């Protein structure tokens, strides 16, 4: 961890991602690394949540600053045990610390990238304060940030797969002793004193001249790539599950933006779903 001194954790993730993956592989200093990523993610999401809620009022901005980090952390708490158990069932050798660190890398990248988009969101809030456009813009920002973060997650899992942490430990195979090769008979040298002619000598040496002629040559075989472990396949299933849980939880915790025609409310009745609301917003915009 000495090379992380004086650097933001997101800077280390972006500049030295191989060092991050190696630290996860070695299960070294993950408590400190996870704590740094957690703090950075909460601060970044709180700032971005305040930008979202500022469309309505200061009170909504403060509420969204609490809700947005809560949304990601609760979704992580719900889905992380599933990822860990998936790995255990299919023989991966990941600890709970390694699984949490991997997901926190993705969450940190998502949060910091959303924070980088905050000035753009604030710019459109000031210059084009349209509720439908502002909502779709920020949903697109969060979706893009999440895709980049999940790309880091899949990249980290591939590194762990290269180090053999996603597949069961191979059983030790005791090699059987190779059978002793049969001695190859060598024709005796024929001298001039035994009365043999040079033609006879050449005929007797003919079978030994091409010992491999009777054995057909096999064509060279291409190396077969090792099969992808089930943990990598289930990772994509887990990503879909994480997104589904996150969007439903976001619908439950709404409002984040605050409709301009409605008074402030901490939460709203659970009716409809997130995807129907997005389609309705697109229809209202166009």
User: pTM of the predicted model, to two decimals?
Assistant: 0.73
The angle at the Cα of 196, spanning 193 to 197, to the nearest 5 degrees, equals: 120
Distance CA 278, CA 139 (A): 9
* Alpha helices (runs of H) in the chain, residue ranges in sequence order: 9-15, 17-26, 30-53, 58-89, 96-127, 131-162, 198-209, 230-253, 274-285
Pull the structure tokens for residue 239: 């990503």
Is the CB of residue 47 less than 8 Å from the CB of residue 118?
A: yes
Q: Tell me what pLDDT residue 203 has.
A: 45
Distance CA 103, CA 108 (A): 9
Q: pLDDT (tens digit, 0 to 9) for every residue of the chain, 286 residues total?
A: 444 443 489 999 998 888 999 998 888 899 999 999 999 999 999 999 999 999 888 999 999 999 999 999 999 999 999 888 887 877 777 888 988 999 999 999 999 999 999 999 999 999 988 888 999 999 999 999 999 999 999 998 888 878 766 655 554 444 555 555 555 555 555 444 455 444 444 444 445 445 554 555 565 556 555 555 566 777 888 899 999 999 989 888 888 887 777 887 777 777 777 777 788 878 877 7
Distance CA 128, CA 34 (A): 38
């Amino acid at each position: 961890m000495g090379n992380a001194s004086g650097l933001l954790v997101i800077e280390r993730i972006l500049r030295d991602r191989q060092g991050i993956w190696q630290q996860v592989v070695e299960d070294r200093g993950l408590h400190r690394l996870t704590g740094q990523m957690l703090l950075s993610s909460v601060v970044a999401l709180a700032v971005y949540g305040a930008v979202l809620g500022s469309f309505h009022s200061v009170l909504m901005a403060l509420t969204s600053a609490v809700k947005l980090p809560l949304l990601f952390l609760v979704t992580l708490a719900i889905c992380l045990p599933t990822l860990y158990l998936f790995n255990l069932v299919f023989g991966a050798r990941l600890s709970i610390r390694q699984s949490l660190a991997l997901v926190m890398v993705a969450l940190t990248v998502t949060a910091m990238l959303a924070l980088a988009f905050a000035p753009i969101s604030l710019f459109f809030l000031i210059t084009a304060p349209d509720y439908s456009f502002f909502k779709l813009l920020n949903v697109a920002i969060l979706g893009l940030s999440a895709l980049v973060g999940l790309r880091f997650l899949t990249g980290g899992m591939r590194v762990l797969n290269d180090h053999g942490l996603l597949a069961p430990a191979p059983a030790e195979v005791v090699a059987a002793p190779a059978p002793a090769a049969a001695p190859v008979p060598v024709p005796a040298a024929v001298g001039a004193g035994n009365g043999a002619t040079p033609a006879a000598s050449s005929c007797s040496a003919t079978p030994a001249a091409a010992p491999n002629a009777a054995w057909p040559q096999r064509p060279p075989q291409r190396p077969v790539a090792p099969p992808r472990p089930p943990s990598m396949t289930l990772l994509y299933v887990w990503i879909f599950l994480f997104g589904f849980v996150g969007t439903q939880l976001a619908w439950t915790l709404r409002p984040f933006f605050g409709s301009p025609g409605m008074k402030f409310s901490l939460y709203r009745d659970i009716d409809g779903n997130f995807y129907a609301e997005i389609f309705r917003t697109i229809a209202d915009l166009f």
